[in-house]
Amino acid sequence: MSAPHYNHGYLIFLILLFLWCPRFAGALEITDSVGETHIFTAPATRIISLYPAHTENLLTIGAANALIGISTSDSATISVFDKPRFSYHDSVEKFIQADPDCVLIRPMISRSNPNLISKLRDYGIRVVSLQPTSVTELYEYWQTLGTISGFEPQALEMINKFQQEITSIQASVETILPQHRPKVYFESIHSRMRTFSPESISIFCLTTAGGINVAEDAVSRRGTNIAGYSKERILARAEEIDVYLAQFGRMNRISVEQIAEEPGFRALKAVRSGQVYLIDEHLVSRPTPRLLEGIRMIHKILYPG
């Protein structure tokens, strides 16, 4: 009898389950994105989420009942619209009155209002800062949310399904010869001439979809997903840029017309050929399973046939 065959994604799932499940019985130690260590002796059941990605991921793994508050900028599903809204500009007293056992933030909030974070911790409220900046960190981040909320198996299953979809897309893209793949400049912030760092989740979306990143020499700013790329550097690659792709949303309020009319940009091959496109920032920058939607949309842009 031949040995049973398991697909790659399933094996990863089994390994993750083996590594994580034995730890559930005792205290769990988590190091967050700013280097703070947190000890959990039980799952958090009264979570306030100050970042929409945290909210969306918790809902996806089935932890809606663990949420007692969400961000004022949250646009999550209707099932949590009745939850109280919180902002990192709110008073400490508002948080204390809600009696959370965990407040989930991201590093930007730590930098913007360190006083709030310090006071919450002084009061004994656990504040955990999470935001992945690479695909490896993305999977670790999802696992961590599962651990914090007590929905570890569901988080691992979400990772497994996501990885299986990625593997399927990559297999399809591998049939396209590298010389036939379009070269893309991926804009993150137009007003500051920013792209994404090569190791970012957004560039992962681009390359998984079958695009070649022309700004692979961009350098991350302060360890974030964002990287500077001056207009001079963009124009120096004018004839290489087959497609000009820009995220749009709160981070980048831009239009195709504005990009095309940017002084000097008529020199870009993509602008001259009408290959300038926008994609919702939530689908390429927010660390949720909806990244799959972003990857598929980019693939359709790059390979319309």
Full set of structural domains in the chain with CATH: 8-160 (3.40.50.1980), 176-302 (3.40.50.1980)
How many Å apart are CA 183 and CA 281, to the nearest integer? 20
Residue 20, pLDDT score: 46
Vertex 103: Cα angle to 286 and 223 (nearest 5): 45
Q: pLDDT averaged over the chain?
A: 92
Mean pLDDT of 145-155: 97
Mean pLDDT of 253-262: 98
pTM of the entire predicted model = 0.88
Q: Which residue has the higher pLDDT, 82 or 164?
A: 164
Mean pLDDT of 91-104: 98
- b/e per residue 196-222 (b: at least 16 CB within 10 A): bbbebbbbbbbbbbbbbbbbeebebee
- Structural contact between residues 302 and 210, judged by C-beta atoms closer than 8 angstroms: yes
Element of type H or E holding 12? helix 8-20
Residue 81, pLDDT score: 74
Sheet architecture: strand order including 67-71 = 85-86, 67-71, 47-49, 102-105, 127-129
pLDDT in tens, 12-40: 554 554 444 444 456 889 999 999 999 99
- Structural contact between residues 290 and 165, judged by C-beta atoms closer than 8 angstroms: no
In terms of Cβ atoms closer than 10 Å to its own Cβ (0-12, 13-18, 19+), residue 89 is exposed
DSSP 234-259: HHHTTTT-SEEEEEESSS----HHHH
Mean pLDDT of 118-141: 96
Residue 35, pLDDT score: 94
- Structural contact between residues 159 and 143, judged by C-beta atoms closer than 8 angstroms: yes
pLDDT of 9 above 80 = no
pLDDT of 42 above 70 = yes
pLDDT in tens, 200-241: 999 999 999 999 999 999 999 888 899 999 999 999 999 999
Residue 25, pLDDT score: 53
Residue 224, pLDDT score: 87
- b/e per residue 127-148 (b: at least 16 CB within 10 A): bbbbbbbbbebbbbbbbbbbbb
Mean pLDDT of 182-189: 99
- How is residue 109 written in tokens? 């909030």
Closest listed residue to residue 275, CA positions, set 242, 239, 246? 242
Closest listed residue to residue 205, CA positions, set 283, 117, 301? 283
How many Å apart are CA 241 and CA 235, to the nearest integer? 9
